[in-house]
Amino acid sequence: MNPLASALTQNIAFFAIASLYVWIGARRVAGSAPFPGPRPPPLWFKVWLVVIWLVGLLWPAVTLAWAIGADADVNIVIGLGAYLVMMFAQVGTEIFVWKRWRSAIWVIVPCLYLPWRLWQCWWGYDLAGVDESGFATATYVALIVLWIINIGVHFTNVPLTLRWDHHPRDATFKALHHPIALMPDAHDPLE
């Protein structure tokens, strides 16, 4: 299979499967208290988001523009193009789930997409070839390091992001079939 067909097949299949998981998850918590979204992040997290946008979006976009303008190997264009399209698919899915559905399932979107993004970077790096372009190689290495670190940051931040204690006291989560005790003085039905 040629690289373009492979990129299209892989990414369309992933997007369909990830969207199905998000939809199933959203149906499981349908009728529960609306998720207010992530809390205002601390300063270190805001700095980290800037790093993500600079290294994870701007740098690959510049490399892609360079590869197109320099008539570089088409495989660099395919790999980085697929990467950027899927990054926008993730952001679009996150915004839709958070703003439209107001669902706590928002937090699993990066859990699905971050490992995929890491796979995409490795696939693109392998596709471009180590000796093809120092600039493209440096871009892929930076992306692989960035997404490995970001997977850890995201997964260790999930409990803080959800912060169930910030939901209304009488919130019920239909998928769990009982009210959740959210305040220290509330009776926990499981006790």
pTM for the whole structure: 0.80
Q: What is the pLDDT along the chain (191 residues), one digit of tens a residue?
A: 899 999 999 999 999 999 999 999 999 888 877 877 666 777 888 899 899 999 999 999 999 999 999 888 899 999 999 999 999 999 999 999 988 888 888 889 999 999 999 999 999 999 887 666 788 999 999 999 999 999 998 888 777 666 655 555 555 545 444 444 444 444 444 44
Could you give the CA distance from residue 79 to residue 3 in angstroms, rounded to a whole number? 8
| CB neighbours of residue 8 within 10 Å | 15
3 state SS of 172: strand
Q: HEC string of 143-172? A: HHHHHHHHHHHHHHHHHHHHCHHHCCCCCE
